[in-house]
Structures are given as structure tokens and as C-alpha cells.
Structure 1
Amino acid sequence: MADGVGAGLGGAASGSEPAGDPGAPGTDGPSAAVAQLLLLAAAEQERDPGAAGVDAGVVLRAAGAAGLDAGVVEAAEAAGVVRPAGGRLCLVDPRWARTVYAAAPRARRRAAHRLLADAFEAELCAAPGASRAGRPDQADEPDGAREGDRYALPLLYHRASAAEGPAPGLGDELAAAAGAAAGPRRRPTHPERAAAYARSAELAVAEGPRAVRLTAAADHARLGGLPDRAGELLDAAGREDLTDAVRGAAELVRGRLALGDGPVADARETLLLAAELLAPHDPPRSLAARLAAMEAAWAMGDAAAYLEALDHPSARTDPDQRLAEYRAGMSAVMHGRLHAGRQRLRGYLANGRTEATDDPDRLLHAGVAALVVGDLVAACRINSRALALARARGPYILVPQALEHLAYGELRAGRHARARAHAEDGLRTALDTGQRNTAAHHHAILALAASVEGDPDAVAEHATAAERVAAPHGLVQAATLAQWARARADLGRGRVPEAAARLGPLVGPGPRSGHFAVRMLAIPCFVEASARAGQPGAARAAVAEFAGWAAQGADPQAPAQLARCQALLAGPEECEPFFATALACHDRADGDFERGRTLLLYGAWLRRRRRPGEARGRLRDALVSFERGGALGWATQARAELRATGEAGAQEPPGPLALLTPQQLRIARCVAEGATNREVALRLSVSPRTVDHHLRNVFAALGVRSRVELSRLVDRAEKTAAHP
């Protein structure tokens, strides 16, 4: 029988070489023997399209049954179509294998699957604990921890793929294997289970089983990071006669796909529809749909929509008491009962089982709760565990989300370099799994990290990338974070009017306001920008609101930031005690960056009060804080302020700029960036007349006659210093 199958396989492979395919390893295509091997490998890859190659032992056993000798692997490697690695055959270009598989007639594809089924049957018989009948001997390992378990699903898949017509019994068996709990020796991947469910649907006769299996296949494709395949399977399910229960399950998958890549308002409506359809039939999945709708509303920045999903009557009968406690705490917080809500959430987190769970979804909820109560240590720990579990056990689609939550927690804790590293990883995995919305959030986090590190080009690049998706998809949170990053970059470069203009809409009320969960975090930047721009009145109402929020203990940095804001808005005699309070609060919380900002503002205030000795001490501390926290752009500001106190820093101004006084140098650099005299005055907290006076002296010292000539000279001198 094997010889006959092998002959059919050889004819399929040798006749299926697509001329001129861009993925082909050679102009004439592979040899017939190599093409046979490639067809077998491609048929096995169809079973698990997300896997890194195929099991070399199984494919070679099937190849031997087809009459191929052992040298075919070397020939395939020499032809550039496969690469052996660690007991697996990795397809160098999967497009070539898919083309060979698609071009082969169905009968010959079935022959390849039959050979692979026989190969897996042989592996099953040879597995420890297998009985003489070729089935695992359950008496050997009664808990199901049998080596043969790893072959059950592959064997059934290839048998089903070799079937020549409808085979309801075989389809039922394959669907049951795809839905069974994973064994301890091997966990089927989500793409593998998606392929099994899809194949079992093809073997079904009745519409009901087909629809159920296609929907299950779509969900596993989504979880495996294959959104396009998930969409195809949902479309196929939609052509069946669906019951409300199945339609609800399909809409849940569709809504989750849109949540990852699509307008989140549409995702929310789809998820709410799924919750309604599922409520009478599957309450746990109905609740899952409402939780996903809450996530969509959060991304939209719509607090009312979030509460609508959270407080719906059908969601109040949650049998999971721990999840009910989480929801009750979030409901109280969103209704403005901050103290009561955070108490509930702290109780939820205090339960040791919250972090002991192996469910990444539950851990992500716990991570959100930790961020809301301001326990940043717990937030980072919990999200790190969620990331580890998602990577080790799946679903892979949760990896970029766990990285997003982890990066955000690191940002809140002031560890910007760690946040950047997590967001860079998250961006790659989000794009790999087709989740552009999650990628936009990672771009926004990267923009925020770059605004601390002093890289304006990176800020602009990542903020633009975030906004490019945020605008059409309604991602208010990502858009708010991107604008905050742009404003903070402006503030770090001394462009205070621009920063104040960007931040005003984000922290104020009205339709153009920012995300409800980000407003308070951005207020300290807004107050600093407004005060330094000479517009303190606009910031006073924001500080009053921030004071109430800081008292809730939701952010360890908030007490110090509040005192700093009060110092910026206070009169000359009241300013210094507020700065002292801010520094005392910083001593009780982590975060070099925020401490450095307070020291920089305090040192600049002391310098303007003609207390250069005291100013230098504060500014040196600010410089150390910025350098330790990687805030290089802000460190430049601290050095400039130090020079303005008369301290000759380690980095003297380059070339002809050494002729200038520290204050003249600061003014020259601002003018070279294109600032007007009034803008320079605002940046340096001096009068326009003082700027005009110093600028005339700068022109005389450097021998230039215009602002254009000054800009060219400064640019040339600093480029020479950077690349001597």
C-alpha cells in the first residue's frame, strides 16, 4: 500500500513545480525527490502553520514509505528549500511549500496526509506505554501523562485530511481531540487546534456542528496570532444557519479581532451584541464579552461606555467571586468613590490566589487593579508573571498586551529604559500577531520614553506612528499619550509655550480633553509649562483638582509633584518651603527623573534669586539624577543652568562659542533653534529687553550680523564638537 501511495505522491510533487515563483530556490525548481519531500513537509506544516518547521523524524518516516532515500534531506538542503535544526526541518521559504501544496491535486495531497498518518501511527506504537494494539496503555500511566498523547491530534488530523469524502465520525473524533484539555507532555498550539477544528468542520454533514467548529477554529486562529485566517473562518461560519448561541460566540471572536485591529467603538458594539446573545446560553462567555467591551471603552476614553458594560445587570451575577470583587472595585473607582474602590481592589490583590493563578487574562486584570491602587511594585510583578505564562503556555496573542501593561507600569515607576525595552519587544509581537491597536499603544509608550531620554526625532517618529492608527480607530488613550510625549519633549527642550498649548486640551474638560486615566498624570507637566510660559492662571484650577487626586494615594510620585506645582505657582516668599516639601516626598518614592525635574526647577529658581552657591548644589544633584535615569535631554538643561551660575562644567562650549558667557550661550542656542526674543525670554525666565541686550553682545563677540548667520555658526560649532 505504501508503494502505491508513494507513486501517487511522486507524481503530484514532480508535476506541481510553479515556474518562476519568486520563492523558488532555483530557476528550474527542485528535483522530483526534493519536491516530494517538500510536499510532505508542507502537508505537515498545514497542521500547525505557526510552528517553526516540522518534525524531521515523522516526515522522514513518511518519505521512506514513499520510496525516498535518506539523502533527500541533504539534497533539499543543498537546493535551499529546507534547513535541519534540532530534530526539525525548517522550510527556508514557506511560500514555496504552500505553492507546492496548493498546486498538487487533491488526491495526491490526500496521499501525503495518508503517509504522514501512517508515520504518526508508527510513532504512537513505538511510544512508551503503548499497547500491542498501537494505543497508549492507560494502565501504565493512569493520569494521562503518556508519551502517546502527543501523537493523538496529529494522527487524527492527517487521517481526516486523507479522507475522500464526508466522514462525520472521524470529524467528531478530531473535534473532540482539538477541544480536549492539553496533556502534560505536549500542549497543542492554537494554530494547530484551529486547523483541526477547520478540518473537522469539512467532514461534518449537519450545519450545526460545522458552524460550531468553524467558530472554534476562528477563535484559536485569533489566539494563535493569525487574524486573517480567523476572519476567513468567521466568514465561512456566517454562511451557515447559526443559532443565537453560535452567533454570539462568533461575534465574540469578531469583536476581539476588532479590539486588536479596528475601530474600537465598533468592537465595543460587537462585543455587547455577543454578550446579549450569549447571556441565556453561556454566562461565562457573556461576561467575557462584557469585559472585552470594557477594554474597548477604556481605549476609547469613554468612561460612560466603560460603566455601561461594567454595571450591566447581566454582569452582576458573576459566579466567580474574585472577578466580582475586581469589578466592584473598578465600578466604585469609575463612579468617583475612589477610597472605597481602591479598598476593594486592595482586598482583591491581597488574596494570594490572585497572583498564583496560571491564567494570563486574570493576571492582566490584577495588574490593572495594582496600577489603579498605585502599587507599582505589584503591578510590574504581576504583569511580568502574565508575560512569562503567555510566552510559555500561550495564548501568544496576549504577549504584546502583557508587555504593554508591564511597560506602562515601568513608566509609572520612573524606569524609562526598562519601559522602552518592553515596548520595543511588544511592538514587534503586536505587529507579528496583527494587532495594530496594541502596536499603537506601544508606539505611544516609546514616544514617552524618548521624551525622557531627550531624543526628539524618536518622539516624533513614535508619536506619529501611534496617531496614524489612533485617529481612524478611535484610540483616545494612545493619542493622549502621544500628545503628552510631544509636550514633554517640548518642555525638555525649553519650548514651554508649545508644551503648554499641547497639554491644555489634554488636562481640561470638554470634547477635546484627553483620556480620563491620563489627565491627572499629565497635570504636573501642564503646570510647569504654564508657569514657565507666564500663564499661571490656567494652571491653578488643575492644581486644585490634582491635590484631591494626590490625596488618594494612587500614584507614589503625586505628593512630590503636587508640592512642586504649588512651588511654581506660589509667591516669592512661599516658593521655597514647597520645593523643600517636594524633595522630602521624593525621598520616600522611587523615580530619578521626577526628582531631577524638581531639583532643576528649584536650582533655576535659586539662581534667579541670586543665590548661585545654593543653586549649584541643587543643579549638580539634578544632573546626577538625570544621568542616572537616562534623561539625557534634561541633563543638558541642568548643565546649561549650572553654567549660568558660573560653574565651568566638564563640557565647555565648542570653538568660538567659548567666547560667550553662560547666559549669552544659552540665548545663542535658543535663537539658533528659531526662537523669537519673546520665546527666549519665556524659556530663560528673563525679560525680552535682557534677551535683546545679550543678543547684541553675542553678535559683536562672534562677528555675525544676523540670526541666520548665528544659527549657522552655532550649528557648525556643535557639529564639530560632536565629530572632532
Structure 2
Amino acid sequence: MLIGRDEELAVLATTVAHARAGRSRTTVVAGAPGSGKSALLEASVRSLAPEVTLLRAAGHVAESDLPYAGLHQLLAPFAAELAGHAEPRGRALAGAVAFAPAEPVERLPVASALVWFLSELAAARGPVVVAVDDVQWLDSSTRQALVFAARRLDADPVTFWLGTREPDGLRGVGTTLMLEPLSHQESLAMLRARHAGMSAVVAERIAAETGGLPLALAEVPLDLRPAQRRGREPLPVRLPVGPSLETLYAPRIKALTDAGRFAVLLVALDDLDTAATTRALAAAGLSRDDLDLGERLGLVAVRDERWAPVHPSLGAAVQASATVRELEDAHRILAECFRDDPVRHASHLRHVAHVPDSLVVAALVAAAEQAARQEAPAEAALAWESAAARTPTGPERSQLTARAAQAYMQARAAGPAMRVLSELVDGAPDDPTRARWATLLVMAALWSQEDPPVDLDAYAHLGFTLVRRAPDPGEGTAAAGLDLVMAVVSLAMAWGDVGRARGYADRLRASVTDQRIPTLHRALLDVLDLMTGVEGAGGFLRGEWLETVVADGGSGSDPTLALGFAGLAVSHLGDLDGCVDVARRCEELARVTGGESAARLSSNAITMIVWERRSEWSRAVLELSAAEGAARDHDFTGPYAHILLRHAYLKACQGDRDECLALLARGVEVVERQSPALAHSEACVRGMLLLSTSDFAAAADALDEATALERATGGENLAYVARFPNQFEAYWHCGREDELLPDLAAYEARALRDQHGLSLAWAARCRALLAGPDDVDALFARAVRLHDGATHGFERARTQFCWGLRLRRMRRKADARRHLDAALGEFVRLGADAWTARTRSELAACGARRAPLTDTASPLAELTPREFEVAREVAAGLSNADAAERLVISQRTVEYHLANVFRKLAIRERAALPAFFA
């Protein structure tokens, strides 16, 4: 996937359209080294239709002195044709590129022959694309022949794409398409696409230091260790440049004098205005003249009264070429220049040897406090951690490390946070303090989907010790212990080790009565009861618990996590209104924390389930897209894989194989090791997809995998999906339903015991599939009534489909058509194409004509995910500026998307938007 070049791709595609219409076009694709010219040309070539004839070549520095070397590449596929051509111009062309013996010819006849050949080729075969990369390295003979042809072919179906670093050499030839650097967001998107598990904090730094240069974005991460890319180890002070850019810049850097190299180094180490540059040069005993050579060589330039490397990656190359002594001297000079700027002063002083640690620590603390005031928690955390590293072991060091940990958690930088929190846990002065840091460490592991800490049982033991130490769970020591135990329970639940979570929960309840456990913790325990099939599970969540929740209740655990777990469980219980209330509470927390908290993620995930259950799948997909965006913008990506799998499950229900498998692949990429919970969800998704596409034996095998995982981990309802009814249906199609009769009896008993509407409906459908001729209608009618109460249109339609299928096999075709027609309408509305095809096939077998059906999806389905987010915020009453701040985009972006929203929804004013979100 080529990121950030949609407009450029469209421009090149348009030139091909012109060629089809018999109009020749030339486009010069120009840009700095590493700007992505070759990638753009390659992507455009791949998109060409088979009937387009392609001629390709690329200049090479080693062949720039070989006459017609480039033309030889270009015409190589036609060597035999040209060598035996009867036309003198064909023989002239063949001779020039050594396809056949010939007398030397002048350049003009060769260029003229090229014009003739391209015209003839296009007339015989249709549109022709001539794609030439690195024109700056072509031999002059080829370059002149190409320019000659491009200027003279006007009314022929031929288009030229010429990639070059030096557009001046092609001035006046066609239209120039300049490749600008990628934006910050596009840079992050490219890093995510190439390195799915990369820490968001690491990606931010790479994006900033590579300046949007695609080649640097591609190469810099490759020189980092996997642990560095994931944020578990600190990044080097200077990021690597990458082999291609290092080779590119080396000759120019080598051409500098010693004084010139040091002057360029000063400029490369910081963003200097002209006055600061003058001061820094003077402090080094240099002058403005010492920058002249660097400017002439294209290494540095003045822009907006500021000196800077022509590209950030070049600055990194200059630093990489400097000696240790030169770097230290430059940092010392710049530290003095920026004595009045805490952040910049500290950033340079920390690299200077022989400075007392006390001075460096003071500077770093001032820098951290300044960064914190500017709401830059990642930068503040790095400064505090650096200050702690220079402070002797003791209370002051612990305090600095604690501030670093809290800032890393605020920045949601999982790897650094876990590294610093581990140090705090090991060095804690007492058990309550150790428990508080361990709670944060466990939560960081949970939100980032890291492997559970190896000493999880030790943390649980510490928590229980503190709970027993004080009679009141609300007392400080006991509260710290309780929070730690519940954090451990949450992590085990999220990982899928529900048997382990069950053991911790039972031990806690043996120590403290439920009435003395805070509301959010009780809600989480009830969720665990649901996941493990405990009798009476869900009773607490069906009550008025949400009314008693205090969002900021002083708990060391993250309240948004418990609300997220609870919201999904409430939806599973069928209380969609209660589910909306939980999502609303999460939204309130999101607003309190500036919109960047995990609360928004939990709210998106819960809301998605509501729309899915209400059979508004287009809206559910928009909510999923919003949740995916929120999950991948930081290191707390633990929910990201789960969200992708939920999205994949919807696509599996629709039978969209390609999109479903693509989402499954992305889900695997974003985690280093798949947890049992993720493995279970993936098996359920594959089973649903295979069932939708009528591959029943394979569906049974996939769902057997999910069953085995449930039994191994001690859980039920691990993903709140229809694992058992899907499995039973797959077995029924394979004629193996008798093997699952004991499981069906147990499933029915649990559904009846828990009074879970959807499970009762599923169990009734399974029984109806087994019914004899006399009972089939009554049992299917009962299943449909239960589905009506459980509010799930897709599953109701599946039951009606099964009803029609049974009746058709019983040769009751007229009765079957009535139920199949009802199912068909819902499948079409939901975009469940695979089920639509199966239903139409059954109707055809019943003798029904194929009737056209229209899709009645919500108008919101026409919106892109970003347009949907903007529309939702504006519908909630936010101004454009407030919506931009909340979504972390520009106000102009909001205005642009809002205009598209108005057009797509056929409205003229903001006041009409709330009706779509009511």
C-alpha cells in the first residue's frame, strides 16, 4: 500500500485515460532522494490494465556514460522485432541499441526513429506507457531521445512518466509533479503499516526525525532492535540514518572542511534562528562564512529566518559522521546558548561530560516540568527518567522515577512505563507502595496486550496479604491490596486465562464479603462469573449498579477498564439500554480526561455492540473504525486486536472472505504473541466465515478449536459470540449432530438458569433443527419469538433461514418460501451477501422467481469513518474548533469533512445532524 500519494496516483492514472483517448501526456515525477518516486512509479505500473503496453527503464550511475544504455533497456522486449524490421527507421533504432549490426547514426535520426516506433506501437497495440525512473542518471543520448519524443508525440495514445531528482533538466517537458514529504499522520500510517507492533512513542520520534521522507521511514526502523521498536528498550540518542541515505549523503559531508562540518553540526543539533546561529558560531570561533560551503553543497539552508538541514535525515547523517569530541563540544556550546530555555538547555547539557550530576538533574527536572505544563507527557517522562538515572539511590531518585512512570502512563507509552514501573516495584520501601506500583504495572501489561508478568501470582499474594491486614476494604492499605488483586483478575480475564482469574476471585470472596467490595470491582467480578458460567451470574449487572459508580472513586485500577468489561457483558445479557448508559459514562470520563483516555475506546467498543445487536451493521462498522483509530494511536493497543477480530466477525457474518481474512491478519500482526482470548476469537471468526460460505466440515473443525480453548482456560462466553450454536449448525450440516447432544443439553440448562434471552433463542434453534415433521413449526416459531425478545436481527434471520431450509427438504415449498423471504430481506439489508446467496438458492429450489431487493441501510453508511466521527461530534453540539480539538485534527479538516457530510446526507445545516444520531 502506497500511503499519502493518492493525488499523485490519480494524476498518473489520468494520463493513461488521456492516452486511451488518443492524447499524449508527459509527467515528470520529481522529488528529493528518498521521496518515493520509484515507489509511486511502481504502484502506477502495477495498476495498469493488461491491454496497456509498458516500456520501462531506469538510469544507473554506472551506465551514464554508455550511449543509448537507457534506450536499450526500454526497447529490450522488442529486440527481435526491431532487428528484423523492414523499415529503415526500425533498423536504425536496432543498430543504435546494438540489437543488430549497423553503421553509426546521428542522435537526431535515432530520436526520430523512436517517435516513429512509439507511434506505430500504439497504433498496433493500443495505449503505451513509457515509464523511466532516475532520469538524472540516464546517458545523455537516451535522455535527449526521450525528451525529443515526448515533445513531438501529441495526438498518439502514448504517455511518458519520467522520474527524476533534478526537474530542472527536464524543464518545459510536460507537467511536473513534485513529491512533497509525507505529513506527520501519513508518516505514522506508513510506520504502522510496515511495523504493526511498533510503539506509538517510537513511531512519533521516527516520524519527527525523518521529516516525512519515505525512504528514511522505511529504513530507520530496520536498524533498531525489536525491543527498541516496541518501546521496551530506550532508543539510541541518535537514530540511525539507514544505509541508502548514509551512502547518499556521505560524499557531500566528506567534501566539507573541518570548520564547515562543525558549523553544519551545530545547525543539525537544534533548530536555530539566525541570531542563535551567529552566537553559536561565534562561541565555536567560527563565522557565517563557515556555513557557505554546507549551503552550496545542499546540506543546510535558511528558511523563515532559521538555519536547518535541508532534511531532518541529513541532520542525523551529519551527527553520525561527527566524532565524540565534536558532538560534546557542539552540545556544550548549544547548552550555553539556550540557558534561558529549560527544555533545550537540558537536552544539550545531558550530552556534555564532566558536568556535575546535580546541575544536569536540575536542568532535566526543569525541562520535565516545562514539558508537563505544555501537555507533552512523553517528553516529560523521558526527562524525569534521565534525571532519576543521574540521581543516587534514595527517596529523591524514587520520586523522580515515580513522576516518570506516571507521565509514561499518561502518554500511554507501554514499554517505557513497564520498564520504569518494574524498577519502582523492586525498589518500593513498603508493601502498600509496592502494591500501588504493581497495580499500574499490571494495568500497563493489560492495556498493551503484553504477556502477563511472570510474578503475577506473587502480586496476587501481595494484594491478598494487604486485604487481610486491614478489616475495612476502603482503608488505604486494604484498598491498595484490593486494587492489585482486581488488576490481576482483569489481566487474567483479558488474556483469556479465566481459570486463573476465577481462582483469584474465589480467594478474594473468601476474604471479603461482596457488600464490602467497591461497586466497580463487584461489576467486574460479575463479568467474570458470566465468563465462567457461575450460577446467578449477571445478577449484579442487571441491577442499579451504574447509579452508584463514582467515576474517579480513588481506585488505583482504571475505572474505564471495568466499565468496558461491564458494558460488553451487559450487551451480552441483552440490556441494550443499559449498555448505552455504560457507554455514556465512558464518554463522560473521556471528556474529563481530554478525549485521549481509554474511556473513548471502551465507549466505541460498547456502542459498536449495541448497533450490531440492533442490526445497524453499517453504523457498527463506523464505530469499529473509530475504535481502531483510537486504539492504534498509542502503545496501549491491547484492545486493538480484539476490535479487529470483532470487526472480522461482522465481515464473517456477511461472508466477506477477503476483508475478514485481511482483518484477521492485521490482528495477528499487532501482537507479539497471541493470547488464548485472541486465539479463541480468531477460531470463532474462522468458524463463522466458513459456515457463512457453506464450508461446513472446515467450520466444524475451527469451532472445535474454540471449544478446546474454552475447556483449557476454564471459560464460557469468552468472546460473547455464538460459538456453540454455530458449531451445532455446522455439525448438523455434516450429519454429526448426535455428537453434540450432551453439549446441547448442558447449553440449554445454562441458558434457562441464567435466563439469557439470546442463548435461549440459539438453543431453541438447535432443537428445531432436530425436530421431527410434527414439531418443526412449533419449535422454530418458539425460537423466532425468543429472537424477537433478544433483539438480534441477523440471528433471527438465520433461524428463519433454517426453518425454510427444513420445510423445503420436507417438500413444503410454499411454507418454506414465506420464511426464506423474511430471512432474505434482513440478509440483504445487513449486506450479508453469502447468506443472501444461500437464501436465494433455497428460494430457487422452491420455485420462487428472483425478486430485486433494495438495501435500506442507514444514510450514515455513506460516510467515511472520519466523516462519521466529525458528524457525531458536531451532532453532539460541539463547535468546529471543539470537534477538531477532541478528534486531534485541524479545524480546516473538520470543515472539509463536514461539507462532505452535508452533501452525502442531503442536509444544509448543523441542526439537522442530531436526527441521524438520535
TM-score (norm 1): 0.64
| CA distance in 1 between partners of 2:521 and 2:754 (Å) | 23
State whether residues 364 and 383 of structure 1, in contact with CA within 8 Å, keep that contact through their aligned partners in structure 2. no
Q: Does residue 1:475 correspond to 2:662, yes or no?
A: no
Aligned to 1:191: 378
In the alignment, the residues of structure 2 paired with residue 436 and residue 97 of structure 1 have an alpha-carbon distance, to the nearest angstrom, of: 32
Q: Deviation at 1:230?
A: 4.0
Q: Is the 8 A contact 1:431 1:439 kept in 2?
A: yes
Of 293, 316, 319, 2:488 maps to 293
Structure 1 range deviating more: 579-588 or 266-275: 266-275
Once the two structures are TM-superposed, the CA of residue 579 in structure 1 deviates from its matched residue by: 1.9
| Deviations, residues 340-394 of structure 1 (Å, cap 9, x unaligned) | 7523563212337559999993133123223323233443563476478559637
User: Which shifted more, 536-545 or 622-631?
Assistant: 536-545
1:361 has 2:562 as partner: no
Give the aligned residue type for 2:500.
Answer: A
Q: Counterpart of 1:569 in structure 2: which amino acid? A: L
Aligned to 2:340: 118
1:455 aligns with 2:656: yes
The answer (yes or no) to whether the contact 1:417–1:449 under 8 Å persists in 2 is: no
Alignment pair present for 1:105 and 2:327: yes
Alignment deviations for residues 268-287 of structure 1 (CA, whole Å, 9 cap, x no partner) = 44653674798789655544
1:209 aligns with 2:391: no
Q: How does 1:12-31 map to 2 (within 5 A)?
A: 22=244, 28=252
* Partners of 2:567 and 2:606 within 8 A in 1: no
Aligned-partner SS, 1:517 = coil
C-alpha separation in 2, matches of 1:266 and 1:436: 21
Residues 403-418 of structure 1 aligned to structure 2 (within 5 Å): 407=608, 411=612, 414-418=615-619
Q: CA deviation at 1:460?
A: 3.9
Quick one: which of 692, 698, 704 aligns to 1:498? 698
Q: Secondary structure at the match of 1:494?
A: coil
The CA deviation string for residues 522-556 of structure 1, in whole angstroms up to 9 with x for no partner, is: 22212222233223323333333333443467755
Quick one: which amino acid aligns to residue 648 of structure 2?
Answer: A
| Equivalent position of 2:284 in the other structure | none
The one-letter code sitting in structure 2 at the alignment partner of 1:603 is: G
- Quickly say closer, same or farther: Cα 1:431–1:328, change in 2 above 3 A: closer
Contact 1:603 1:616 in 2 (8 A): yes
For 2:528 and 2:734, the matched residues in 1 are separated by: 39
Distance 1:320 1:80 in 2: 65
CA distance in 1, matches of 2:582, 2:450: 28
Counterpart amino acid of 1:577?
A
CA gap of 1:239–1:572, structure 2 versus 1, over 3 A, is closer
- The answer (yes or no) to whether the contact 1:40–1:62 under 8 Å persists in 2 is no
* Aligned mates of 2:579, 2:556 — CA distance in 1: 16
The gaps in structure 1 that reach 5 residues or longer are 1-15, 42-57, 121-153, 652-724
1:479: how far off? 1.1
Distance in 2, Cα, partners of 1:181 & 1:322: 36
Indicate if the aligned counterparts of 1:264 and 1:474 stay in contact, CA closer than 8 A: no
1:617 aligned to which of 818, 829, 842: 818
Higher mean C-alpha deviation, range 451-460 or range 339-348:
339-348
Shift of 1:636: 1.2
Q: State whether structure 2 residue 545 is matched by structure 1 residue 348.
A: yes
Q: d(CA) in 1 for partners of 2:778 and 2:409?
A: 56
Distance in 1 (alpha carbons) for counterparts of 2:647 and 2:302: 36
Which residue identity does 2:744 align to in structure 1? V
Instruction: Note the alpha carbon deviations across 1:388-430, whole angstroms, 9 max, x for none.
Output: 8559637667766665555556555555445544555555665
Match of 1:603 among 804, 818, 821: 804
The CA distance in 1 between the partners of 2:308 and 2:642, in whole Å, is 33
Q: Secondary structure at the match of 2:340?
A: helix
1:308 corresponds to which of 503, 506, 526:
503
CA deviation string 1:321-350 (max 9, x = no partner): 333543564576578655475235632123
Alpha-carbon spacing, 1:176–1:273, altered in 2? closer, same or farther (3 Å): farther
Contact 1:499 1:526 in 2 (8 A): yes
SS at match of 1:580: helix
The reply to whether residue 272 of structure 1 matches residue 460 of structure 2 is: yes
Match of 1:640 among 841, 859, 877: 841
Consecutive unaligned residues in structure 2, runs of 5 or more: 1-237, 282-286, 470-475, 853-918
Alpha-carbon shift at residue 607 of structure 1 (Å): 1.9
One-letter amino acid of the structure 2 residue matched with residue 625 of structure 1: E
CA distance in 2, matches of 1:444, 1:80: 47
Summarize deviations over 1:210-232 as a string: whole Å, max 9, x none: 24433542453355243444466
> Match for residue 546 of structure 1?
747
Alignment of 1:90-489 (within 5 A): 105-106=327-328, 108-109=330-331, 111-113=333-335, 115-116=337-338, 118-119=340-341, 165-166=355-356, 171=361, 188-218=375-405, 220-230=407-417, 233=420, 251-252=438-439, 254-259=441-446, 260-264=448-452, 266=454, 268-269=456-457, 271-272=459-460, 275=463, 284-313=479-508, 316=512, 321-327=518-524, 329-330=526-527, 338-339=535-536, 341-343=538-540, 346-351=543-548, 353=550, 361-373=558-570, 374=573, 375-379=575-579, 382-383=582-583, 386=586, 393=594, 407=608, 411=612, 414-423=615-624, 426=627, 430=631, 433-434=634-635, 438-463=639-664, 466=667, 473=673, 475-489=675-689
Shift of 1:248: 5.4
| Residue of structure 1 in register with 2:176 after alignment | none
* 1:517 matched residue in structure 2: 717
SS at match of 1:346: coil
Deviation at 1:560, TM superposition (A): 3.1
Question: How far apart, in 2, do the equivalents of 1:107 and 1:245 lie?
Answer: 46
Task: Output the CA distance in 1 between the equivalents of 2:712 and 2:813.
Answer: 43
CA contact (8 A) 2:767 2:779 kept: yes
Shift in CA distance, 353/445, structure 1 to aligned 2, threshold 3 Å: same
- SS of 1:393 mapped into structure 2: coil
Shift of 1:576: 0.7
- Residues 527, 565 of structure 2: 8 Å contact kept: no
Structure 1 CA distance for aligned equivalents of residues 670 and 400 of structure 2? 33
Shift in Å, 1:37: 5.0
Amino acid at match of 2:565: V
C-alpha contact 1:599 1:621 (8 A) present in aligned 2: yes
Deviations 1:19-43 (A, max 9, x none): 98655796636997776454224xx
1:21 to 1:500, Cα distance in 2 relative to 1, 3 A: closer
Distance change (3 Å), C-alpha of 1:34 and 1:371: same
Matched with 1:39 is: 269
Q: 2:729 — aligned with what?
A: 528
Which residue identity lines up with residue 492 of structure 2 in the other structure? A
Is the 1:272–1:293 contact (alpha carbons within 8 Å) kept by the matching residues of 2?
yes
Residues 508/422 of structure 1: CA separation in 2 closer, same or farther (3 Å cut):
same
CA contact (8 A) 1:268 1:296 kept: no
Report the Cα offset of residue 581 of structure 1: 2.5
Distance in 1, Cα, partners of 2:795 & 2:670: 30
Indicate how the Cα distance of structure 1 residues 510 and 256 shifts in structure 2: closer, same or farther if over 3 A, else same: closer
In 1, the alpha carbon distance for the partners of 2:407 and 2:530 equals 34
Q: Which moved more, 1:591-600 or 1:105-114?
A: 105-114
Residue 127 of structure 1 is matched in structure 2 by: none
Contact 1:249 1:274 in 2 (8 A): no
Number of equivalent positions: 578
User: How many angstroms apart in 2 are the aligned matches of 1:563 and 1:212?
Assistant: 60
TM-score, normalised to structure 2, is 0.52
Cα distance in 1, alignment partners of residues 299 and 461 from structure 2: 50
Distance in 2, Cα, partners of 1:512 & 1:537: 23
Contact 1:452–1:489 at 8 Å: present in 2 too? yes
Q: How many Å apart are 1:191 and its aligned residue?
A: 0.6
Q: Distance in 1 between matches of 2:303 and 2:717?
A: 50
